[in-house]
Chain A
């Protein structure tokens, strides 16, 4: 777990490679369908004015994730 950090902790402009998805059930399925799979690279694009959700670039599409979701996706910062 040493260099695994939650996706939510990446700053704007940073990229992370997905290592672990600590979510189960429908939300996990949803994330997998959207391209959040091990080894995919996610870039932080911008944060909404309220600080949540955050827009991420995932396999060519801009996807908004809430902090509660991004907290459970662990990445290796690139």
Chain B
């Protein structure tokens, strides 16, 4: 995955979200690019990237494929996952559909397990209103432990606030405590055992708890990606894990 920074000082941001949440509309509104928006799978085939300047700073926004999950069921999901894990975005914007939050928060929670630098944009608020749905944004933010911004991307509403929050996250002005899913005692014990061993190899380059969860899930693709993006070729992570 190539990141085309206009300058080395560019602040890299990831834009994630389910399909049909208006993610590309937000991308276009923020960057001024005319990325084609439309409703079909795989539309964001490769990562679109665009620049914007806010509060005098250059940002590079990377539009990830629209997915319901990032647990690598498909190439799209693996692209999204790998960018969030290894592309080192300084903040991730998760775009959600206000008319169907229950489905959309699955992805937000998955991303919050990997990184705490997350802002949730609740988009399509106008459609939600038409359907009689009102979203309590401040309560949602309190429950998730990350900022939540309401947006209507088609009308450019909420976007300045979104950019302000993104900058606050990047500048570490906010204390984020993303909600973490707790698993059953047996699983938590295995997570802790694995995390301790993983941390010695990963050394803070990626969230060890999350990697432990993926290993318990039987996900082999994460091992390949870690070897590819994070570790020197002298380290055989697969071999290490097999020896535990």
Contacts and interface: CB of A to CB of B under 8 A. Distances in A.
Interface in A17-43: 25-26, 29-30, 33-35
Nearest to B217: A29
Interface in A50-69: 59-61
Contacts, number: 26
Contacts of A26: 73
Interface residues of B, number: 11
Report the interface size class on chain A: 10 to 19
Contacts of B73: 26, 29-30, 33
Given A33-B68, A34-B68, A61 B103 contact: yes
Nearest to B99: A60
B223 interface: no
Interface in B99-120: 99-100, 102-103, 106
Given A30-B73, A33-B69, A33-B71, A25 B218 contact: yes
A61 B69 CA distance: 15
A25 B68 CA distance: 17
A33 B99 CA distance: 17
Interface in B55-72: 68-69, 71
A34 B67 CA distance: 10
A33 B106 contact: yes
Interface of B: 68-69, 71, 73, 99-100, 102-103, 106, 217-218
> Which 9 pairs show the lowest CB-CB distances between chains A and B?
A33-B69, A60-B100, A33-B68, A59-B103, A30-B73, A35-B103, A29-B71, A59-B102, A26-B73
